[in-house]
Amino acid sequence: MSPIQKVHAFLMNDCLLIATWLPNRRGTVKYKYNALYDLESFAVVNVKDNPPMKDMFKILMFPDSRIFQAENSKVKKEWLEILDETKKSKVTKERHKKEEEVPTSPVRAEVSTNPFDEEEPVDAQEGVDLSLEWIQELPEDLDVCIAQRDFEGAVDLLDKLNGYLKDQPVTQKVKELRLTVEERVRQLTEVLVFELSPDRSLRGGPKATRRAVSQLIRLGQSTKACELFLKNRAAAVQTAIRQLRIEGATLLYIHKLCNIFFTSLLETAKEFEMDFAGNTGCYSAFVVWSKSAMRMFVDAFTKQVFDSKESLSTAAECVKVAKEHCQQLTEIGLDLTFTLQSLLVKDIKAALQNYNDIIMEATKHRNSEEMWRRMNLMTPEALAKLKDEMCSCGISSFEQYTGDDCWVNLSYTIVAFTKQMMSFLEEGLKLYFPELHMVLLESLREIILVAVQHVDYSLRCEQDPEKKAFILQNASFLHDTVLPVVERRFEEGVGKPAKQLQDLRKSTRPVRVNPESTTSMV
């Protein structure tokens, strides 16, 4: 739906010539030949306006189609009318010409006197009997079937005729009959094409296209049927997405969006497999269409999840929902997981890096206000809640760092950092796929280094032996408890260990020193 080139069309009484405009021309030549279409070889279809494009009409010629845009609605109307009139006029003239060629004189043909000439019997000259009542009435019956939208009946009549004429000699009368029938076939094809056009009602779902598709396939036009079916379904999916009301809660909207899109994709795939079971060459077209439909879905998904600056936890839940729905397509042998991931990788990477920056800034701010004092949660309920939070983070040995009267033998900064980093890791694993491996890994390293360097700096600067011992206890908590949990959880989520995290833990091993020393971490 965007302009490709400027063209000029020349309509003649038997064909349509398309020429392209020459922007850098020399002399009086303004146009260059592009294509020539016989009036009987194509159908003209009106195209609904799709802003900013409007005043368009489509020319369908098996197996391709082209869309042209007129200067305005008046010119478009004139083109549609004159094309229809010219096509009808050509058919009428050809019919009259054939009637004039048939001899109407009652004069008998001159009889040869040559005894060696063998006169063939009349039956042998005619070749096939076309005087049967059903053959004589066939053109009219086809017109009635097309007018009454009895597509199956029309194709049945055509199959009956083809079966009757099979292996029969091609005489002049047979040729005339076939020309008459071919005109009805073109009319029937135009009606079937219109039935599959996106301008028709899309509420019936994929099954609503079955009649038109099956009859086009029977007419030997499976390629056109495939193209029109997929265009119809693309318009239906796009319309369904546009009509979906944007909810206040992003996750609720994504659930509805995934349900509508992937259900429609699954129904389309099943209908496609049923309609084109005998045309395996069309399956590649369906795969290409599925990828383009996935782009349509990701556009709507990204606008709601990433462009609106949702939190990382919300984005992770939304991506998880999309992955789960996408996995359902594998039931029919269609795996679009890689396509979904490749379309989302840019936005997910940006979201991870943005949240990484937020955590680092928050950690640096807490570090600047660090007093290295034990936490006092004041109430048993608050202490129990913190234990549950740390247990859900994977810190099962947190109990050994709690004391009497709701005290915790760790600083507020280290505890807050642990909860925030583990939350980031869990959300990152929900978003994870191989292309994001190094992004997630480097983000974790940067966050861990901010906390480790703060502890190292505090140990170097602190002179009070008691506080130095408390800082060293926090350093041991980070090294011996938190970092192993991060390594283990990362390996579980990704499926392989992270050597970078292991090396980081080895390089930040805390060591006990005497109070006068100014270095406590290597």
If one compares 517 and 146, the residue with the highest pLDDT of the two is: 146
Check whether 253 has a pLDDT greater than 60. yes
Contact (CB, 8 A) for 383 and 402: yes
Residue 194 within any structural domain of the chain: no
CA distance 263 to 278: 24
Check whether 375 has a pLDDT greater than 50. yes
If one compares 322 and 176, the residue with the highest pLDDT of the two is: 322
Residue 108 within any structural domain of the chain: no
Residue 350 within any structural domain of the chain: no
Question: Rounded to whole angstroms, what are the CA distances from 292 to 185, 202, 285?
Answer: 33, 19, 11
Q: What is the mean pLDDT of residues 132-160?
A: 84
Q: Which domain holds residue 25?
A: 7-87
CA distance 508 to 453: 9
Confidence grade of residue 501 (pLDDT, cut at 50, 70, 90):
confident
Check whether 23 has a pLDDT greater than 50. yes
Contact (CB, 8 A) for 462 and 518: no
Contact (CB, 8 A) for 19 and 8: yes
Q: Can you give the pLDDT at residue 480?
A: 86
Q: What is the mean pLDDT of residues 439-444?
A: 90
CA distance 254 to 32: 50
CA distance 477 to 398: 9
Q: Could you give the 3-state DSSP secondary structure of residue 132?
A: coil
* Beta strands at 31-38 and 43-47: parallel, antiparallel or unpaired: unpaired
Domain count, the chain: 2
Tell me the pLDDT tens digit for each residue of 153-179.
888 888 888 888 887 777 788 888 888
Q: What is the mean pLDDT of residues 206-210?
A: 77
Tokens at residue 258, please?
């995934």
> What percentage of the chain reaches a pLDDT higher than 70?
89
Residue 211 within any structural domain of the chain: no
Check whether 265 has a pLDDT greater than 60. yes
Q: Could you give the 3-state DSSP secondary structure of residue 312?
A: helix
Residue 343 within any structural domain of the chain: no
Domain boundary among the residues 64, 87, 110 is at 87
Check whether 123 has a pLDDT greater than 60. no
Q: Could you give the 3-state DSSP secondary structure of residue 111?
A: coil
- Comparing 13-22, 267-276, 504-513, the range with the smallest average pLDDT is 504-513
If one compares 247 and 336, the residue with the highest pLDDT of the two is: 336
Domain boundary among the residues 32, 65, 87 is at 87
CA distance 117 to 300: 81
Check whether 515 has a pLDDT greater than 60. no
Contact (CB, 8 A) for 23 and 7: no
Amino acid occupying residue 230: L
Q: What is the mean pLDDT of residues 56-79?
A: 85
Q: Can you give the pLDDT at residue 62?
A: 61
CA distance 142 to 188: 9
Q: What is the pTM of this model?
A: 0.61
Confidence grade of residue 8 (pLDDT, cut at 50, 70, 90):
very high
Q: What is the mean pLDDT of residues 341-358?
A: 90
510 CA to centre of own chain? 52
Burial class (CB in 10 A: 0-12, 13-18, 19+), 261: buried
Q: Can you give the pLDDT at residue 204?
A: 62
CA gyration radius for the chain?
Answer: 38
Confidence grade of residue 257 (pLDDT, cut at 50, 70, 90):
very high
Check whether 199 has a pLDDT greater than 80. no
Confidence grade of residue 513 (pLDDT, cut at 50, 70, 90):
very low
Q: Can you give the pLDDT at residue 518?
A: 35
Q: Can you give the pLDDT at residue 11?
A: 92
Average pLDDT, the chain: 82
Q: Where would I find the H helices in 148-282? A: 151-165, 172-196, 210-218, 222-243, 250-275
Confidence grade of residue 258 (pLDDT, cut at 50, 70, 90):
very high
- Comparing 63-72, 108-117, 273-282, 406-415, the range with the smallest average pLDDT is 108-117
CA distance 179 to 93: 13
Amino acid occupying residue 335: D
Confidence grade of residue 120 (pLDDT, cut at 50, 70, 90):
very low
Domain boundary among the residues 87, 110, 134 is at 87
Check whether 353 has a pLDDT greater than 80. yes
Residue 183 within any structural domain of the chain: no
Residue 191 within any structural domain of the chain: no
Q: Can you give the pLDDT at residue 203?
A: 62
Q: What is the mean pLDDT of residues 189-202?
A: 77
CATH of the domain at 18: 2.30.29.30
Q: What is the mean pLDDT of residues 421-427?
A: 90
Q: What is the mean pLDDT of residues 65-80?
A: 89
418 CA to centre of own chain? 40
Check whether 519 has a pLDDT greater than 60. no
Residues whose CB is less than 8 angstroms from the CB of residue 350 and which lie 6 or more positions away in sequence, other chains included: 306
Q: Could you give the 3-state DSSP secondary structure of residue 68?
A: strand
Residue 407 within any structural domain of the chain: yes
Contact (CB, 8 A) for 87 and 42: no
Contact (CB, 8 A) for 431 and 315: yes
114 CA to centre of own chain? 76
Beta bridge partners of 280: none
Contact (CB, 8 A) for 459 and 465: no
> What percentage of the chain reaches a pLDDT higher than 90?
10
Contact (CB, 8 A) for 501 and 441: yes
